[in-house]
Amino acid sequence: MASYRFLTTWLLECERELVWDAVYDSERWPEWWRGVEQAERLAAGDEKGIGQVGRYIWRSAIPYPVEFRIVTTRVERPHLLEGEASGGLVGLGRWRFFEHAGVTAVLYEWNVRTTKRWMNLIAPVARPVFEWNHDWVMRNGGRGLAGLLGCELLAAD
């Protein structure tokens, strides 16, 4: 399997609680996040959301859908959200939220391996395209989130 490690940062002129709520409510991502085709909750998890299971289908600039599930493994509202992916991608996703002077920094770590044979076979030459594709999706997320919350996206990288 080919491994990828991504770190995305969004800076939003918005309260952390509002940003947290929008990210946590992943079933609504298709409404504001270009590239998310489907997001559905398959299981609710406990009172904190641990054990929650979501199913996601993403389609980006590369016209191939990627489907995976996320099981929420850690919830520390409104600071940290973490989950384990399985399916087309396997690995760990971690959201961190920081606020200072009305600006919320969102850091997203996505450490995954591809499970599709064809993706693994072409990874040595396609890695830059896959990385560019991930960045495209995440920039769209930052823009969409700012639009949803009616705030300014100060940075997205």
Q: Find the domain containing 69 and state its range.
A: 3-156
* Structural contact between residues 66 and 137, judged by C-beta atoms closer than 8 angstroms: no
Q: How many CB atoms lie within 10 A of CB 106?
A: 22
* Sheet with 3-12: strands ordered across: 36-43, 53-58, 66-76, 80-87, 89-100, 103-114, 3-12, 153-156
62 CB contacts (<8 Å, ≥6 apart)?
129, 130, 133
pTM of the predicted model, to two decimals? 0.94
* Window from 51-60, 117-126, 133-142, 148-157 with minimum mean pLDDT: 117-126
Q: In angstroms, rounded to a whole number, what is the distance separating the alpha carbons of residues 139 and 89?
A: 20
CATH number of the domain at 133, please.
3.30.530.20
Band the pLDDT of 152: cuts 50, 70, 90: very high
State how many domains the chain has. Answer: 1
For 132-147, write each residue's pLDDT tens digit: 999 999 999 999 999 9
Q: In angstroms, rounded to a whole number, what is the distance separating the alpha carbons of residues 6 and 139?
A: 13
Q: In angstroms, rounded to a whole number, what is the distance separating the alpha carbons of residues 43 and 52?
A: 5
For 54-113, write each residue's pLDDT tens digit: 999 999 888 889 999 999 999 999 999 999 999 999 999 999 999 999 999 999 999 999
Taking phi over 0 as left and psi of -120 to 50 as alpha, with beta for the rest, 48 belongs to alpha
